[in-house]
């Protein structure tokens, strides 16, 4: 089963794998994880613009070398398919601000938060954004991350979808059904809370763990009964397939977007963190009143039509906020919920990795 995955690695890594004799499956799993992380770092890079973006790593050697990029005036930012970081990248304002400091920006796109934080843990990025759950699992795995800011709650930006002709009419109807979602993501917490509110347990469903693109495929094929997903995938799928919203996050979850930094980078370059957050706030202030312009700006890069992106932008709240005790308390609740369900390997203390601003 692992052979096709090994074949996805760069040629140099495949060569090493072919020469190795594994003494145990555990050794193989560890080695593959390392190799695949390097491959992901390479393949996740987006096309670059010579004027404001560095060239992406093209081999395992350059990927490892890039772990010291912060010492050569390169900020490596991980981003997902939608969010304020996507807008900031498209506008190019951060590059303009940092040009006078002889500092450039390298943008790397990831399919979801868990993969982005895997790269942060590996030392491949310095800064990024995710939903609520990924940093909790990453902290439990020992990732050197720091919460530095967040966006306002956006509970309507994620939902549990069912096909338009599905007989399932409410969350209680998911009992015994297959529900697909990205493991360790914010929507996993949505599923947990939605089931709890409906009087069900997590064990009452059959979870299927897949990233967004694969999840949509099995959802449209009818291989699963429901799909828990976030924007922009949520709105795109709803408009394209006519899928029904069984339950969004309203009244159940906050669904905040968090900005996270690698701990060494945050300690050494607080001025760069400050610059990123200030530029994000400027972009947020512009985007809040310009949903159509946001949609037009992002449409070519994301490959999503303007009306869909406009709907997402109109619904989404904007504004970079400092990490407060209230936010940490909420995140701790999320972490404790996953621990109680034995989905988290060990207890974590959010306050230990949060840059809290007292009010």
Query: Whole-prediction pTM value?
Result: 0.76
User: pLDDT tens digit string along 95-152?
Assistant: 999 998 889 999 999 988 889 999 999 999 999 999 999 999 999 999 999 999 999 9
Cα distance between residue 157 and residue 52, in whole Å: 31
pLDDT interval class at 358 (50, 70, 90): low
pLDDT(215) > 80: yes
Interaxial angle between packed helices 25-43 and 11-19, expressed in degrees from 0 to 180 and rounded to the nearest 10: 170
Q: Is the CB of residue 294 less than 8 Å from the CB of residue 88?
A: no
User: pLDDT tens digit string along 243-259?
Assistant: 999 999 999 999 999 99
pLDDT for the residue 114: 87
Q: What percent of the chain has pLDDT over 90?
A: 70
Residue 22: both structure tokens together: 């594994």
User: pLDDT tens digit string along 298-331?
Assistant: 999 889 999 999 999 999 999 999 999 999 999 9
Kindly report the CA angle at 110 between 105 and 114, in degrees rounded to 5?
Answer: 120
Domains of the chain: 3-38 (no CATH), 46-154+256-353 (3.40.190.10), 155-248 (3.40.190.10)
Q: Which residues have a Cβ under 8 Å from the Cβ of 189 and sit 6 or more positions away?
A: 132, 133, 253, 334, 337, 338
User: pLDDT tens digit string along 16-73?
Assistant: 334 333 333 333 333 333 333 333 333 333 333 323 333 333 333 334 334 444 456 8
pLDDT for the residue 10: 41
pLDDT(177) > 90: yes
pLDDT for the residue 332: 97
Strand 178-181 to 206-209 pairing: parallel
């Amino acid at each position: 089963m692992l052979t096709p995955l090994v074949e996805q690695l760069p040629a140099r890594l495949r060569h090493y794998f072919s020469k190795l004799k594994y003494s145990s499956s555990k050794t193989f799993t560890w080695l593959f994880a390392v190799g695949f992380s390097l491959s992901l770092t390479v393949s996740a890079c987006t096309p670059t613009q010579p004027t404001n973006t560095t060239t992406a790593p093209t081999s395992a050697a350059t990927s490892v070398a890039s772990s010291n990029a912060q010492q050569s005036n390169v900020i490596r930012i991980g981003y997902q398919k939608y969010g304020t970081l996507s807008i900031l990248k498209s506008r190019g304002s951060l590059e303009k601000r940092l040009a006078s400091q002889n500092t450039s920006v390298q943008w790397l796109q990831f399919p979801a938060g868990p993969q982005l934080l895997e790269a942060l843990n590996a030392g491949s990025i310095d800064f990024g954004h995710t939903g609520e759950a990924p940093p909790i699992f990453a902290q439990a795995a020992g990732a050197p991350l720091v919460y530095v800011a967040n966006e306002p709650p956006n509970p309507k930006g994620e939902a549990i979808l069912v096909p338009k002709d599905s007989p399932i009419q409410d969350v209680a109807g998911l009992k015994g059904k297959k529900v697909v979602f990205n493991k360790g993501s914010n929507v996993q917490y949505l599923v947990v809370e939605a089931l709890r509110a409906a009087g069900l347990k997590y064990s009452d469903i059959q979870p299927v763990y897949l990233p967004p693109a694969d999840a949509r495929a099995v959802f449209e094929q009818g291989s699963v009964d429901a799909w828990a997903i976030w924007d922009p995938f949520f709105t795109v799928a709803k408009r394209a397939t006519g899928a029904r919203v069984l339950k969004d996050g309203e009244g159940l979850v906050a669904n905040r977007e968090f900005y996270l930094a690698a701990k060494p980078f945050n300690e050494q370059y607080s001025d760069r963190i400050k610059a990123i957050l200030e530029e994000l706030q400027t972009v947020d202030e512009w985007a809040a009143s310009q949903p159509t312009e946001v949609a037009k700006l992002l449409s070519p890069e994301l490959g999503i039509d303007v009306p869909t992106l406009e709907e997402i932008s109109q619904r989404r709240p904007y504004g970079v906020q400092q990490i407060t005790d209230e936010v940490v308390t909420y995140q701790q609740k999320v972490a404790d919920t996953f621990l109680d369900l034995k989905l988290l390997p060990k207890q974590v203390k959010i306050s230990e990795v949060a840059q809290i601003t007292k009010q």
